[in-house]
Amino acid sequence: MRVVHSPRHRSHDPKHELADGEAIDAYEVPERAESIRRSLAADGAFTFEEPTEHGAEPITLVHDPAMLAFLETAWHDWVSSGETADEIFPDTFVLPALREGMGPVRAPGTVRGAVGMWCFDTATPMVEGTYAAARAAVDVALTAMDLALGGEPSTYGLCRPPGHHAARAMFGGYCFFNNAAIVAEQLTRQTGEPVAILDVDYHHGNGTQQIFYGRADVLYVSLHGDPDRAYPYFAGFADETGADAGAGANLNLPLPLGCSNEEYLAHLDRGLEAIAGFGGSTLVVSLGIDTYGRDPICDLALTTEVYHEVGRRVAALGRTTVVLQEGGYFVPHLGENVRTWLRGLDGRGLDLSALPDV
Ligand code: Q9C
Ligand code: ZN
């Protein structure tokens, strides 16, 4: 299987996120992607290539150009206005109620103010190299798509930072540009067919859902921790099925606390059934491995074996598949879990021999 990877991801190297009023070590760190790269490289059946540049247009077909412009200059503007902190966090958030009844929001003249127009949480700091890494992740995703359109049955884009929490005009959840949504949008344009997205990250992909919620030509299917208890809290409910032309083209499958492999596969089959009944020949997978039982920030109970079976069942759809990396935070097993998933997709056997005993 062909893998697209860029060393550029390393320039997004946040040190902290905020939790319960304290700065804690960041979970979304460069070592995640290195763990995946090492595992796939050691397997021998994966070949690596660097992305080609795709420019800004595929991004602005999905995201507000003003958000792209903010991200592009934020670090430079931050430093040149005399700020000295090496991570940018929002100070306030422009919730609709802040200016309720008082007319439109005016863009603040400082990054410290303006970041609260675009970022929705306190877990997603921008650092000096964030923008370059986020742009490279988009190029990784689009290059994986190009290879699939060129005839590969399945390809893998080792995207970092991840993307599925980024909405049209909002970033957060460790995500800046929505790599999967950008690829899905291009697939609709380049194939002229509808496109399905399967999101198996532990967290609901609120950004991807938002971007396509009114669209009939993109099916979004997500398995995730129930938003009644899980981040991002405000989206991912089972009764969110799409709006307007998109009615019926959104399927949320919330999962219970401690969800087992068996329960998970039963939910997966419902999602795959919806995809099988939807048109088009291509599939985008948002592959999060934070469903793992040992993930430090999630609460399901999946084991490595199940990722092989999930990959197998996705392959049985028979679609051209672009797999893009999202979350997964138990770094010691992250690479092997991804490798296991992709081996299942590729019709190869389960191989647990390289799973570290930690
Ligand atoms: N106070 C992805 O897996 N959690 N994003 C913050 C800590 C943020 C996860 C809660 C989780 C974001 C791509
Ligand atoms: Zn996640």
The confidence score (pLDDT) of residue 290 equals 98
Residue 119 to residue 108: CA distance in whole angstroms: 14
Residue 110 to residue 31: CA distance in whole angstroms: 32
The confidence score (pLDDT) of residue 126 equals 98
The mean pLDDT value of the chain amounts to 98
Distance (Å) from CA 176 to ligand 1 centroid: 13
Query: Closest ligand to 300 CA?
Result: 2
Q: What's the rounded mean pLDDT across residues 327-331?
A: 99
Q: Which residues contact 357 (CB under 8 A, 6 or more apart)?
A: none
Q: What's the rounded mean pLDDT across residues 339-357?
A: 98
Catalytic option among 12, 54, 165, 204: 165
Q: Tell me the helices (H) and strands (E) count for the chain, helix number first.
A: 10, 10
Q: Express as a percent the part of the chain with pLDDT over 90.
A: 100
Distance (Å) from CA 259 to ligand 1 centroid: 19
Q: What's the rounded mean pLDDT across residues 82-109?
A: 97
Residue 173 alpha carbon, nearest atom of ligand 1: 12
The confidence score (pLDDT) of residue 336 equals 98
Distance (Å) from CA 83 to ligand 2 centroid: 31
308 noted as active-site residue: no
The confidence score (pLDDT) of residue 198 equals 99
Q: What is the 3-state secondary structure (H, E, C) of 258-315?
A: CCCHHHHHHHHHHHHHHHHCCCCCEEEEEECCCCECCCCCCCCCECHHHHHHHHHHHH
pLDDT tens column, 117-161: 999 999 999 999 999 999 999 999 999 999 999 999 999 999 999
Residue 313 to residue 322: CA distance in whole angstroms: 15
Reported confidence tier of residue 208, pLDDT bands at 50, 70, 90 = very high
Residue ID of nearest Cα to ligand 1 atom 7? 19
pTM of the complete model: 0.99
The confidence score (pLDDT) of residue 344 equals 99
90 lines ligand 1 (CB under 6 A): no
Q: What are phi and psi of 36, to 5 degrees?
A: -65, -45
Q: Express as a percent the part of the chain with pLDDT over 70.
A: 100
- Within the chain, residue ranges assigned H as helices are 30-43, 57-60, 65-80, 111-118, 130-149, 179-191, 206-212, 261-276, 304-315, 331-345
The confidence score (pLDDT) of residue 342 equals 99
